[in-house]
């Protein structure tokens, strides 16, 4: 009987879902797994988000655990092939579930997970967005595990002599729960979904004015690497794509409001030709116009 159980377990392990993740070297200390510029579906199974590992000397710092248990387990396995060491902390940059459902794997390892104090107000869902959109095989063993260490305004960590400064945006930018993670002596700044590249950003839970202001603050950091939540550009100018998009969107929507164009017509008519060939323009442009319109109309 025991042999049968072991055989079944072995076969199941062979059939376990794999993302075929490949870490990309950013610097001597930073490696990231870059997601695809796509919507969540059963083909990518949530692999459309960035997850990064920072070698702090004797331990890793993980920035965003990814969309599933399987993703997190595979990512850690791949990074250990480069350097096998334990994890100091996992930091979740905000509350969107593609960035933190991998927490369920790291909890098994006994790792402390850090996130915005806004997570305290999050209720566990009967079914997560990820669960609704990906395969059962990819979602297997994934559970909703929220952070157990919270950041209200600021928090400083010291990991193997490296200082890590975690700052809450404290305003609704991309979300109301955005965190920035700055490691000055590695010249690295992790900004979550405040920065998008390779695809159109999503404004659905954000405030266009505060998001633009936060990007302007990020530009003042003396960081060689500014790493966002989506997209492979990670240099000091990685903020430019999101910034330019939001500035143009605000200008167009503000003009429509001033001209007395109703929201329904604005959604239909406001286009941004510069971005039409960018991934997810078709899926997100109208939604972004609507969200920006409601915010700017209220302000006026």
**Could you read off the pLDDT of 83-103 as tens digits, one per residue?**
999 999 999 999 999 999 999
Q: Tens of pLDDT along 216-227?
A: 999 999 999 999
Q: Tens of pLDDT along 155-174?
A: 999 999 999 999 999 999 99
Proportion of the chain above pLDDT 90, given as a percent: 93
Whole-angstrom distance, CA of residue 186 vs CA of residue 156: 15
Question: Which pLDDT score, from 0 to 100, does residue 12 have?
Answer: 46
Q: Where are the domains of the chain?
A: 16-238
- At residue 3 the predicted structure's pLDDT band, cuts being 50, 70 and 90, is low
- At residue 298 the predicted structure's pLDDT band, cuts being 50, 70 and 90, is confident
Question: Which pLDDT score, from 0 to 100, does residue 203 have?
Answer: 98
Question: Which pLDDT score, from 0 to 100, does residue 109 have?
Answer: 98
Q: Is the pLDDT confidence value at 271 over 50?
A: yes
Question: pTM to 2 decimals?
Answer: 0.94
- 270 sits in the region (left: phi over 0; alpha: psi -120 to 50; else beta) called beta
Fold category of 16-238 in CATH: Metallo-beta-lactamase; Chain A (3.60.15)
Question: Which pLDDT score, from 0 to 100, does residue 2 have?
Answer: 52
Q: Helix axis angle, 208-218 relative to 240-258, nearest 10°?
A: 150
Average pLDDT score over residue span 50-56: 98
Question: Which pLDDT score, from 0 to 100, does residue 210 have?
Answer: 98
Q: Is the pLDDT confidence value at 10 over 80?
A: no
Q: Is the pLDDT confidence value at 257 over 80?
A: yes
Proportion of the chain above pLDDT 70, given as a percent: 95
Q: In what order do the strands lie in the sheet with 188-196?
A: 154-159, 162-168, 179-183, 188-196, 225-230
Q: Tens of pLDDT along 111-141?
A: 999 999 999 999 999 999 999 999 999 999 9
Q: What does the mean pLDDT of the chain come to?
A: 95
Average pLDDT score over residue span 27-50: 98
Average pLDDT score over residue span 167-195: 98
């Amino acid at each position: 009987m025991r042999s049968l159980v072991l055989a079944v377990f072995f076969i199941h392990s062979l059939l376990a879902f794999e993302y075929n993740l490949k870490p990309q070297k950013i610097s001597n200390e930073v490696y990231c797994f870059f997601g695809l510029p796509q919507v969540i579906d059963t083909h990518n199974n949530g692999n459309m988000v960035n997850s990064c590992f920072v070698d702090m000397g004797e331990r890793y710092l993980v920035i965003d655990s990814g969309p599933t248990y399987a993703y997190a387990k595979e990512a850690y396995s791949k990074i250990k092939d480069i350097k096998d060491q334990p994890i100091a902390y996992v930091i979740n940059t905000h509350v969107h579930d593609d960035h933190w459902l991998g927490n369920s794997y790291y909890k098994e390892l006994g790792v402390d997970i850090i996130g915005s104090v806004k997570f305290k107000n999050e209720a566990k869902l009967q079914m997560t967005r990820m669960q609704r959109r990906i395969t059962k095989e990819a979602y297997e063993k994934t559970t909703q595990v929220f952070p157990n260490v919270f950041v209200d305004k600021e928090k400083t960590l010291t990991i193997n002599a490296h200082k890590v400064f975690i700052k809450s945006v404290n305003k609704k930018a991309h979300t109301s729960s955005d965190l920035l993670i700055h490691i000055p002596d590695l010249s690295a700044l992790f900004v979550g979904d405040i920065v998008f590249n390779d695809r159109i950003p999503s404004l659905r839970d954000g405030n266009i004015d505060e998001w633009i202001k936060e990007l302007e603050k990020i530009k003042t950091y003396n960081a060689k690497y500014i790493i966002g939540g989506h997209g492979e550009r990670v240099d000091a100018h990685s903020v430019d794509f999101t910034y330019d998009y939001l500035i143009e969107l605000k200008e167009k929507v503000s003009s429509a409001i001033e001209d007395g164009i109703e929201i329904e017509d604005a959604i239909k008519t406001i286009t941004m030709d510069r971005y039409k060939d960018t991934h997810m323009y078709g899926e997100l442009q109208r939604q972004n116009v609507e969200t920006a319109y409601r915010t700017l109309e209220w302000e006026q």
